[in-house]
Every structure is written in C-alpha cells, then in structure tokens.
Structure 1
C-alpha cells in the first residue's frame, strides 16, 4: 500500500467516528445516564433517620431505667431471703438447745416409790429470759395506747397493723400518714397520725402486682416485753386480727408456743417504750 493510500484511509476513519459518536450516545440506555441528585429528598431522609435514632435512644434510656429498678428489687429480695435464712438458723439453734435441756431432764433419776411425788411446777412462761407467747395474744400499742388482739406469725418478716382510710401527707418536709384504727372487740375507732419511717413494696399472693405500703414505728408490749418496732400499714378489715406480730418483734425476745393462746397479757408500761428489749 502506498503512503498516500494509508493517510487517506486514516482520514476517512476519523471523519466517520466524528459523525457516528453522537448517534451512538443517543442510543445509550437511560439507567446509564447520571442525573443530578435531589438534595431536598436526601435531607428529608437524613432527618427521618435522625428521628428514628432519637426514638431508639429514648427507648434505650427507658429500658435502662427498667433494668435498674429490677436490679434494686432483686437485691432487696436477696437481702430479705438472707435475713430469713439467718432467722431460721437461729430458731433451729434455739430449738436444739431446748431439746438438749429436755433430754437432760429426762435423764435424771426418778423419785423412789417411798417418797411422795412432788407437786407439778407452775407453767413456765419465761424461758432463758425470753417471753413465751401463744399463737394469739393481746398486745398494747403506744401510741395510741390501746390493747388489740394479734396473731403471732413467725413466718412474717415485719409486723403489720390494720389502717383504715389511710392518707399520706407531708409535715415539715417529711412524709406522714393519717389512718383510722378499729378495735374489732368493741368497734372503737381511734384516729392516729405518725411519721413514715420508710416505704416497702409487698408482692400480692394472688397477682404479680406489688403494693407500696408505708412503715411506721410504734411502741408494742407483749407480756412483760416492751419495745419499739416497725409496722407496715394496710387495710386488714378482711382479716381476723387487726395486728400481725412478725419476727422483727419476736427475734431474740420471745418463744412461740403454737398450742397456747393468750398466755402473755400485756403489762402496760407507765411510760412509752424507749429502745428495744426493755422489761
């Protein structure tokens, strides 16, 4: 091929590409064409994503609060369980001491037939400086200075008191409670006001819900034992007894004989109780 022919062919190819390029570009599919982005839609999507993130953060905060509250309730339950185990261990040791004492008495030699049998001793109501009480007793509460029937319950951690028309209010920046106390033996009503020591949550036996109850401190006398103790307040009108005496009153102070009733009438003190364990 001559040199002139070579340059003529190259020129014709260049001219053909120049005219065919626009035609080929017009035939490209639409999805290959790059459009200018819609910034307003992008901003709206960013705002929606930010709102969703804020909602997730709020839900996370609520979940954390719920977990903290559950953690506190679990710790409180574990603490009460530990106290109950210690109480059970202490009662077991007390009963073992009593069993050993009975064995010692049974091992003593019996009196001979020539000697007259001694008179039976009077019933023992105080054992090792501890007041013996029955399953049901009358207790003296001060304030308000009344005697009420009570059930003795070694399974209850804290004592409980019947409180009708319970009303919580504030006095000098501290929570107080006002309630009506009813004596079921004579239906006498006594209005009582007391400062709230603390609040507790009590799980209901028939539901999974919990009830927030105020706790007050009152003087209580059973037999010759006079002390100050905490009482949870609730409406016990459906119960047989307005007062329930729990382990916070019995522990280290009394022994319970469930076969007896009303064997420790309260010796009403001349003055209000000062400290736990006075006699």
Structure 2
C-alpha cells in the first residue's frame, strides 16, 4: 500500500513564503522543472546577492496582483514543450499542497495564454505525491479569475 498523497492533474497550490495564498497549478510529470507565470520580472542586488522581483496574477477569483521577491537560486536553460530553449531564473521556495509543505525550485516564465499560471514538474512531486490523471482538484478548488469588461 502506498503512503503517497494522490493529486489530480490540476490542483490549487500555495507559495506562502512568496505571499501567494492560492494559485491554479497543472501537475505535469512529463516536465522536469516547475514554472510560475510572471507578468514582469526585474533583477537587483541586495546584500551583495542577486535577487529577482516579480509580479503575477495567480488566476484565482478575488486574488489581487501579487508582487514578490526572492534570492536568485540559479539560472539555467529550459526547453519548453514546443522545443524552444530559453534561459530562466530559478528561485527556491516552499510549496504548500494537500496539507504538506516542501521546498521546491521554480523557474519564472511567461505562461501567458496558458490555462494554469503554475506548472508543477516531477521534481516537485517526486517521493511524496502520485498523480491520478483522471481526477482534478482533489485538495480544494479555486475558481478561475474572471475578466471584467
């Protein structure tokens, strides 16, 4: 019997250290790394260390635009599903999901046009979770952000 927590192919996650209480996430075990959509990002130096500031919309009804900052953990090339290779900034932060917390690496990217602002790759879910691709939102549902025109 497995002691792993079952996730659906889409869930609502939180990144509490970054001030993100809820963000719609697609669980993608085909992707190695995790990605977080940012509308804008900027770099600066604080205490002699490189930092990145960023702004994002978490895609959840009632959630405001969030501005956050984190030390740059790494910068490396990532190949997206279309085969395009780009250099991305990575940060380390705490993922809160399904009643658990764990530190993960996330790259900051432009996921505009994607249905989910966050993609959780296999390195974020390994050893703790298993994914049932026929299920969704097993650990709570957040409504999609609705555009008001």
The secondary structure found in structure 1 opposite 2:124 is helix
Matched residue, 1:130: 4
Per-residue deviation at 1:204? 5.1
Q: TM-score, normalised by structure 1?
A: 0.47
Per-residue deviation at 1:149? 0.8
Note if contact 2:95-2:102 (Cα within 8 Å) is conserved in structure 1. yes
Matched residue, 1:197: 73
Q: By percentage of residues, which structure has more strand?
A: 2
Q: By percentage of residues, which structure has more helix?
A: 1
Per-residue deviation at 1:188? 1.8
> Which structure 1 residue ranges, 5 or more long, are not aligned?
1-126, 267-279
1:54-69 aligned at under 5 Å gives the runs: none
Is 1:262 aligned to 2:137, yes or no?
Answer: yes
Residues 219-273 of structure 1: CA distance to partner in whole angstroms, max 9, x if unpaired? 111112211100000111221100101111111000100000001239xxxxxxx
Give the direction of change, closer, same or farther, for the CA distance of 1:140–1:207 in structure 2 (3 Å limit): closer
Residues 23-75 of structure 1: CA distance to partner in whole angstroms, max 9, x if unpaired? xxxxxxxxxxxxxxxxxxxxxxxxxxxxxxxxxxxxxxxxxxxxxxxxxxxxx
Per-residue deviation at 1:184? 1.8
| In structure 2, distance between residues paired with 1:247 and 1:207 | 18
The secondary structure found in structure 2 opposite 1:183 is coil
Deviating above 6 A after TM superposition, structure 1's stretches of 4 or more consecutive aligned residues are: none
Matched residue, 1:139: 13
The secondary structure found in structure 2 opposite 1:169 is strand
Aligned-CA RMSD value = 1.9
Matched residue, 1:227: 102
Specify which structure has the bigger relative contact order, considering alpha-carbon pairs within 8 angstroms and separated by 6 or more residues.
2
1:19-34 aligned at under 5 Å gives the runs: none
From the CA coordinates, give the structure whose radius of gyration is larger.
1
Q: TM-score, normalised by structure 2?
A: 0.85
| In structure 1, distance between residues paired with 2:79 and 2:23 | 26
